[in-house]
């Protein structure tokens, strides 16, 4: 069972390879959010291979560090909502009761089994209709393992799928004595991801860290300013200020794209049709920024969308986004192919961009 997840991943790639369609730059980019996470446990190699085969343009990697400085692909700095860490290492929780990846070596991390995301208190699945908890054998991959999977499939299929890593909680890592950004950049460099033209976006919620990446660490990778909520209090970034026209012009000085929540783009309203398109995308495009909103989930639709496809069409046809983070890359790719809607270039190289050639 040790290699079941990897075998499943490769099998899925073979099964779906004949269905893969080379993506046109005229369609919004399909960014597989944590892989094909609507079907398989998030951030497993199986979920990434399935997303690749379903026609995703980019596969997302959330990156945190282990105690021995290995970058692993995991959404949170804690392990306890997607693994059996509490059963295997019950004495290793911190004072807050949580189990942190940074307190474990890679060898210890590899002993953990990954499952569908669970509620921290009830242990019930967050998405009950998704892959059954406790079934099969999935493990946490390293960033290197995932890159090698993507690049290997690019070689064997002739596709050119990109990667979309996120540097998670850089200020928190720094307080633990670790420089996650430098470590991630070195891994990306070793695998050939260095310039604007490579198939890689590097994302982060922390504006100060993105500026450090650009101006201190001198990366030429395409950077994405993720936009959250000030109430989260996870960074010192003022997301409300960023969403203004002036704020977006400032972002364009260090980044090529923004990643807002879908609620920042289409706000719920009491009046028909149930949503109002905000100025965010218009203002971002005016600043030369591409827009990749998150997260499109067929099993968690906003109230104004009667179907997943309707939601996608709103963002593709009415809003004109440049890409979307989706848990269901197959349905997203199919919808965008059917729409065949011209879009702005996802690399933000449109005329007028402050970072255009």
Please name every residue paired with 66 in a beta bridge, in sequence order, or none if there are none. none
The DSSP output letter for 294 is: B
Q: Find, among 310, 343, 355, the residue nearest to 23 by Cα.
A: 343
43, 75, 264, 292: the catalytic one is 75
Per the CB < 8 A criterion, the answer to whether 51 and 332 are in contact is no
33, 264, 285, 292: the catalytic one is 33
Question: Which stretches within the chain are classed as H helix?
Answer: 4-17, 45-53, 85-88, 106-109, 143-157, 170-175, 180-190, 207-211, 239-242, 245-251, 262-265, 280-286, 308-313, 329-339
Query: Exposed (0-12), middle (13-18) or buried (19+): which is 63, by Cβ within 10 Å?
Result: buried
Q: Coil, strand, or helix at residue 169?
A: coil
Q: Would residue 75 show up in a list of annotated catalytic residues for this protein?
A: yes
The DSSP output letter for 319 is: I
Dihedral sign, Cα of residue 174, residue 177, residue 182, residue 186 = negative
Q: Would residue 264 show up in a list of annotated catalytic residues for this protein?
A: no
Sequence-distant (6+) residues with CB within 8 A of 347 are: 196, 222, 256, 290
Rounded to whole angstroms, the Cα distance separating 260 from 284 reads: 11
Q: Which residues are catalytic?
A: 33, 75
């Amino acid at each position: 069972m040790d290699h079941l997840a990897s075998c499943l991943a490769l099998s899925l790639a073979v099964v779906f390879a004949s269905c893969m369609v080379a993506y046109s730059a005229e369609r919004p980019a399909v960014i597989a959010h944590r892989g094909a996470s609507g079907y398989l446990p998030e951030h497993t190699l199986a979920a990434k291979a399935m997303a690749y085969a379903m026609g995703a343009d980019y596969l997302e990697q959330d990156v945190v560090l282990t105690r021995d400085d290995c970058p692993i692909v995991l959404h949170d700095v804690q392990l306890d909502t997607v693994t059996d860490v509490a059963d295997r290492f019950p004495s290793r929780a911190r004072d807050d009761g949580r189990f942190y990846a940074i307190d474990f070596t890679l060898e210890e991390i590899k002993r953990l089994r990954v499952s569908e995301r669970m509620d921290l208190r009830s242990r019930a699945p967050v998405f009950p209709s998704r892959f059954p908890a406790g079934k099969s054998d999935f493990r946490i991959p390293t960033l290197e393992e995932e890159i090698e999977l993507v690049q290997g499939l690019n070689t064997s299929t002739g596709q050119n799928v990109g990667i979309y890593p996120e540097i998670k909680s850089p200020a928190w890592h720094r307080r633990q004595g670790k420089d996650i950004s430098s470590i991630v950049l070195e891994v990306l460099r070793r695998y050939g991801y260095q310039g604007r033209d490579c198939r890689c976006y590097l994302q982060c919620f922390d504006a100060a860290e993105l500026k450090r990446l650009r101006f201190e660490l001198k990366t030429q990778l395409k950077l994405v300013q993720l936009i959250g909520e000030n109430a989260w209090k996870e960074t010192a970034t003022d997301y409300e200020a960023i969403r203004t026209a002036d704020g977006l012009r400032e972002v364009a000085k260090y980044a090529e794209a923004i990643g807002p929540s879908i609620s920042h783009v289409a706000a719920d309203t009491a009046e028909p049709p149930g949503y109002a398109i905000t100025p965010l995308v218009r203002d971002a495009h005016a600043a030369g920024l591409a827009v990749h909103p998150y997260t499109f989930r067929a099993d968690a639709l906003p109230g104004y969308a009667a179907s997943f496809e309707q939601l996608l069409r709103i963002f593709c046809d009415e809003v004109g986004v440049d890409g979307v983070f989706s848990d269901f890359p197959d349905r997203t790719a199919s919808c965008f192919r059917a729409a065949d809607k011209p879009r702005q270039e996802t690399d933000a190289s449109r005329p007028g961009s402050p970072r255009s050639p």
